Amino acid sequence: MVMAEIVQRGTDTFRRARIRCGETPLGDRGLSEVSVSVADMRILHTSDWHIGRTFHGVDLLADQRSVLDALAALVADHAVDVVVVPGDIYDRAIPSADAVRVCNRGFEKIRAAGAVIVATSGNHDSPARLGAGSSFSAAGGLHLFTTVSDVAEPVIVEDAHGSVAFYGIPYLEPETTRAELDVPNARSHADVLRAAMSRIRGDVARRRSDGSSVRSVVLAHAFVVGGESTGSERSIAVGGVETVPASEFSGVDYVALGHLHSPQTIDDRIRYSGSPLPYSFGERSHRKAAWMIDLDATGNIDVTRMELPLVRGLSVLTGSLDELCTAAEFEEHVSNYVSAVLTDPVRPVDAMRRLQDRFPHAVHLEWQPPVRSGDAGYREKVVGRSDLEVMTSFLSDVRSDPTASETTLLERAARSAAAEPETVTTDEPRWERTA
């Protein structure tokens, strides 16, 4: 038996947790029970860490290490009992050794801060690799759900009111999971998720059959109807459809979702925490956060948005290269990741190097020269004009005006394309075949 004493910082309140490990065989995931002396269960919901991800080729491990430290500080400062992470722990199925070290360090700091961790695999993770050794990690308070067979076998955490069952649904690929879920005709994410939730509701009902007031929390990695993509998520569409209805999650007290990268509320009990860092310039206006949920004796929840620190800002700057490199108005962006839109009339030479002299974290640029006065769009240029006029104008734009002989060739090509009979003009020489 392991004894742990946790101090809630900033107060004189001491919380004691008695951890009883291995009360079921390790072959059954080393199910652990945690007895907590406070009234309500406090849960921190975070997701989509994507450890090992790069940002336009830039390594983000230092930023990720920093934000995981911030999550561990939240756990300690707010006496969190359980941290839930519904998927995309890593960014790749085969993470680098450095990514694994950063992730393990994050888990260790969160666990040392006093929280049990419940996590699932997402569509970026390799379930087999992430779940390797899960029976042993469960004995230390890290519970990893990576297989379909585990969906109805929850982690049970005890508080003063009784049991809270944490169910983990890993990312379910319909093609590979429908047989194990016993839904051979399943073709969509909604079909396989419905089957998984049916198993979970059945287990909750069984646990409540003796009158116990078991509360339930579900972790799932899915695109739920009503959620909004940020553009940095990998598509999980099957047959053109990637969403599932929120109604599939009925019958549980809280649903912690992963996959979408911005904090979102589908309804009061179904939420996305979003990623802890921005992973595209489209997320530059997002304020990253985690949800802190207090779960009372009857399953009612009180939710608080916990803002995460901004490790490094994102900026999209527009102007000529000289303006971006010298103008005082851009000084506030020098420490941010920068995407530059250059408006020089001629493409600048060595633009990225010059940008990085001022903006060391410039990672992307594009050139959008100004439209010349009098220039019309393509539609305006061609509407109402003959094929010959369009071709002649094209040659004039890209080279020079066509010569008389070139114009004759263009006329013939246009007539041939339109399958019109050729008529010979009087200006052209006539050729006659003689016997």
Residues 111-125: tens digit of each pLDDT: 999 999 999 999 999
- 209-213, 266-270, 292-296 — which is least confidently predicted? 209-213
DSSP 122: -
For residues 130 and 221, what is the distance between their CA atoms, to the nearest angstrom? 15
Identify the band that residue 272 occupies on the pLDDT scale cut at 50, 70 and 90: very high
Across residues 321-337, what is the average pLDDT?
96
338 versus 389: the higher-pLDDT residue is 338
pLDDT at 427: 53
**Dihedral of the CA atoms 192, 193, 199, 200 (nearest 10)?**
160
Residue 229 has pLDDT above 90, yes or no: no
Residue 426 has pLDDT above 60, yes or no: no
Name the helix (H) or strand (E) containing 16: strand 14-20
Q: Got the DSSP string for 164-218?
A: EEEEEE----HHHHTTTTT-TT--SHHHHHHHHHHHHHHHHHHHHTTS---EEEE
pLDDT at 419: 63
Nearest to 271 by CA among 72, 84, 53: 84
Judge residue 139's burial from the number of C-beta atoms within 10 Å of its C-beta, 0-12 exposed, 13-18 middle, 19 or more buried: middle
Q: What is the pTM of this model?
A: 0.75
For residue 55, how many other CB atoms are within 10 A of its CB? 20
Residues 73-114: tens digit of each pLDDT: 999 999 999 999 999 999 999 999 999 999 999 999 999 999
Identify the band that residue 30 occupies on the pLDDT scale cut at 50, 70 and 90: very low
Q: List beta partners, residue 34.
A: 19
Q: How far is CA 410 from CA 77, 387, 400, 421, 425, in A?
A: 77, 9, 14, 15, 14
For residues 2 and 349, what is the distance between their CA atoms, to the nearest angstrom? 64
pLDDT at 152: 94
